[in-house]
Chain A
Amino acid sequence: MSRATQTALVRDDRTVYEAVAGSAVGVSGVAFALGLAALLDVVAIDESVAGIELSVAFGVLLLALGTAVVGFGVTSRLAYVDTNPQPSAGIVAAVAFTAVWFAAGAVAAGAWGLGTVGRLGAGAVLGGIGFATTAFPREDIGSTAPAGAIAGLFGLLLGGGVVGPGWEQVLTGYNATLFGDTVVPVVVLFASLVTGWSAAKAYGGFGARGRNVGAYVLIYLVVGSILTVLVGLVAFVTVKGLPGLFNGFDVGGAGLVRWPFLTNGAGLLADIAGVFPALMGTIWLVVGAVLFAVPTGVGAAVFLSEYAEQGRFTGAVEVATNGLWSTPSIVFGLFGAAFLIPRFGNQKSLIAGMLTLGFMLLPLVLITSREAILAVPDDYRDASAALGVSKWQTIRSVVLPAAIPGVTTGVILGVGRIAGETAPILLTMGGGVLPARSAAPDVLGGFRLSASPPFVSNPALLEATSALPYQLYALITAGLSGNIRNPQEYAWGLALTLLLVVLVFYAIGIATRYYFRRKLHQ
């Protein structure tokens, strides 16, 4: 334990061992990145690097990494360097390496043409060896030897050209074939992960500190990849969608902005097909859902946290709310179809979609509003009560204003979530694949009063209407075709519009939260 503080404090006292182990971590990282690039077809594995094929180069790299990792373990075991290993590498590592070597054995036996029994046998033997080498020796051997061996094995396979660009393996019965193009990068990714972890442990001198470093390397990698995926996704949709979104966009002479993609319908008459009806549909959907869910949710939150005694009733409501929150969206769709549609003219309609999404939004609003109201300090309520203000007055003029930031944030994030929902409106709202501009709902102008029941009607609310996510789904099921000029470009533009609508809600929600939190801490 004392060593942990030593190395942490004395930063520039790096031994050669640590430097080598550190660079092995770095090389593993480079190998990981290259493997990823090869998997995504950025580089081809039969490209030549410094005179040799990339896959052979990968093999050499893995072999070197494997040797180095085993070397770290041996050097430490023979006490050439001052490390702090524990008696065993631990049960987690042992199980992991057993699984890895079991898989390696089973695959190898399969490649040799052995049957199921042979595969299981070979897997069991190698898995057993893997378990024994990991669990029984001291930690420095246990966490390097199996790791180095697997990397070395893969290195030999790639470097020796056994698995390479032309390699392929038919998976009989699975109706699939493995090609070198996919297998080589995957193998490189996996092996570099293992060597990176192992080398990081060696860098930390094994023991508690080594495990710390090893785990941190993996966790940073995980978080890095999640963020990369996120940025990659958004960037990909943006790049693909921009041409469609800005098709025919220009800022006219009198300061007028022409944006046909957002203001046109998609009929035969429109010169540039646009998404106006679906955009209006989404806006009205959100408005309707908010009008239904926000007052209800906030009111319920007020009752639960201010009036109700904690007991059976509040418990039941809480369970029901959380249950509703995790109910699959398609089930809400079924519910809307069975409950709302027969009550609103027996056809898919805008109002059925609004209410279905309102039901989905309700638990989100309730949960966040309740949290916000509970977060208002009791001092506020006590001070107000001490002034002789009645309970309802306190709630109205003290509690609710203090809770508004939290409620707003929750509502905005919830709206972002339901604006992108497809499954419920697929069953309740419908609409055309490529609606013309005239199909856009005109809710405000649609109200009619009549002398016979139901007295108030609004044909715009009772018609099947398109919305952005639904239209994207309908386009996909129509095979990305239709009587518009460039359906592919149109669909990507539509996807980008939808993504932007949702992300804008999220950005506003997160910014609001950030703003109010800073204000609160001032």
Chain B
Amino acid sequence: MVLVSMGSLLTAFVGFLLASPWTAVPLAAFLIATGYGWARHQALVARAVTFAMTTVTLLTLGLIVVFIFAESIPAFRYETASVFGVSVPGLGMFTQARWDAVSEPVRYSLLPMVHGTVMVTTIATLVAAPLGVAAALFIAEIAPPRVRELVKPGIEVLAGIPSIVYGFIGFTVINPWAGDAFALNGGSTYLFVGIVVGLMALPTVVSVAEDALTSVPDVMKNGSLALGATDWQSMTSITLPAAFSGVSAAVLLGVGRAIGETMAATVMLAGVPRISEPLVNVFYGYETLTSLIARGYGSANGVHESALFAAGVVLFVTVLCLSIGSQYIEARMRRRLGGVE
């Protein structure tokens, strides 16, 4: 029974992958088989079904990788450049700085967008990291319980404000103000996009860093306090060093959030794929990797669309590396703290 059920589920999935109109048949077979099995051998079926559900996460990640990479291949092919006589697909996206999908020569360089993303992310990290760690210290160590019960949900709500609402405020309030206050040619600036994105990455930093800080055993803090150290001394010389890897993982995750933030950047930036002059000019705002995709997707086709997927690949790989890196750091910290106790 379980075999029938799982087999038909697999068939349904393959049918879906092949976009077959017959997908509904094995899906129905799965539902019937599972329903029958549920009535007869509940424990066995439950185990099989939950296992199938577990594979969904792995499968999703795998499908994302396969489909995004597959769609981006034409763009990587198009932007082949040779280095030392060996032609490397996709290298042309990083060796010149021209993105123009319309007029000749059509080139798809990702450099301008990478530059924009780096600018926005740097500013956002400068905002989110110190503020986030300070707020996490406050919640984990300083605040009396009553205040903590207020501040913590407050920060969570901050995470809940939709990015498009931030973008809308940025578009209608901040951009005109910035254009006025600095006599800019149009109001889109990496500076303010970065600040807004930093505000959006802040809750991630706070909650992960706070988890890390509270996971430091109380024994260590109490020992320090018993020696006559002030609260701040215990924090800087005991809690923060012990939780250092967790806090840096929090900052890494915050950076990941900032890199992937889309709507605020799309709405607030001018949408010109160009590198600002001079490089560190925070008063220009052209385009980031995310806003490029969001703005361009509907109207693009062919190699242009594929180039957008290439931008997605760059984003995905970067953020996945950050995520895995921060997980590794966190796991190491858990092992070490576990050893201390």
Contact = CB atoms under 8 A, between A and B. Distances in A.
Contacts of B284: 175
Interface string A496-522: 001100110110001000000000000
B164 A473 contact: yes
A265 to B, nearest CB: 21
Contact of B63 (A1, A339, A396, A430): A339
B185 A495 contact: no
Contact of B263 (A362, A473, A495): A473
B81 interface: no
B64 interface: yes
A175 B54 contact: no
B184 A334 contact: no
A335 B165 contact: no
A463 interface: no
Contact of A222 (B58, B131, B312): B131
Contacts, number: 294
Interface in A127-150: none
B281 interface: yes
Interface stretch (A26-34, A270-278, A325-333): A325-333
B316 A178 contact: no
B312 A330 contact: yes
A190 interface: no
A74 interface: no
A307 interface: yes
A304 interface: yes
A476 B60 CA distance: 32
A17 interface: no
B6 interface: no
Contact of B50 (A177, A300, A427): A300
A328 B16 contact: no
A229 B277 CA distance: 32
Contact of A413 (B134, B156, B165): B156
B320 to A, nearest CB: 5
> Could you say which interface size class chain B belongs to?
35 or more
Interface stretch (B39-47, B82-90, B96-104, B105-113): B39-47
Given A212-B233, A506-B160, A366 B57 contact: yes
Interface string B211-243: 000000000000000001111110000000000
A327 B182 contact: no
B11 interface: no
Given A423-B294, A506-B160, A177 B182 contact: yes
A329 B263 CA distance: 10
B71 A338 contact: yes
B19 A342 contact: yes
Contact of A320 (B49, B58, B67, B253): B58
Interface string B145-180: 000000101111111111111011101110000000
B320 A422 contact: no
B45 to A, nearest CB: 9
A143 B67 CA distance: 57
Given A304-B54, A417-B159, A495-B165, A319 B316 contact: no
Contacts of A422: 162-164, 262-263
Contacts of B340: none
A320 B54 contact: no
Nearest to B260: A328
A324 B57 contact: yes
B68 A334 contact: yes
Given A328-B315, A339-B63, A420-B163, A223 B260 contact: no
B161 A327 contact: no
Nearest to B252: A326
A323 B154 contact: no
Chain A contact residues, majority secondary structure: helix
Contact of A319 (B56, B297, B327): B327
A476 to B, nearest CB: 5
B290 A423 contact: yes
A212 B68 contact: no
Given A299-B53, A499-B161, A335 B232 contact: no
Nearest to A315: B331
A33 to B, nearest CB: 18
A176 B283 contact: yes
Contact of A502 (B155, B161, B278, B293): B161
Interface stretch (A45-53, A54-62, A230-238, A437-445): A230-238
B21 A503 contact: no
A499 B167 CA distance: 13
Q: Which of A4, A215, A333 has most chain B Cβ within 10 Å?
A: A215
Interface stretch (A63-71, A151-159, A252-260, A450-458): A450-458
Contacts of B25: 453, 455
A452 B290 CA distance: 41
10 contacts: A1-B229, A222-B138, A223-B151, A317-B54, A330-B293, A333-B297, A339-B67, A427-B293, A469-B164, A506-B160
Interface of A: 1-2, 4-5, 171, 173-179, 181-182, 208-209, 211-212, 215-216, 218-220, 222-223, 225-227, 229-230, 233-234, 236-237, 295-297, 299-300, 302-304, 307-308, 316-335, 337-339, 342-343, 359, 362-363, 366, 390-393, 395-396, 413, 416-417, 419-423, 426-427, 430, 452-456, 469, 472-473, 476-477, 480, 491, 495, 498-499, 502-503, 505-506, 510
Given A218-B134, A225-B131, 8 more contacts: A179-B183, A219-B138, A222-B135, A328-B319, A334-B293, A453-B25, A506-B156, A510-B156
Q: 7 tightest CB-CB pairs across the interface, nearest first?
A: A328-B260, A420-B162, A299-B53, A392-B43, A303-B50, A453-B21, A177-B183
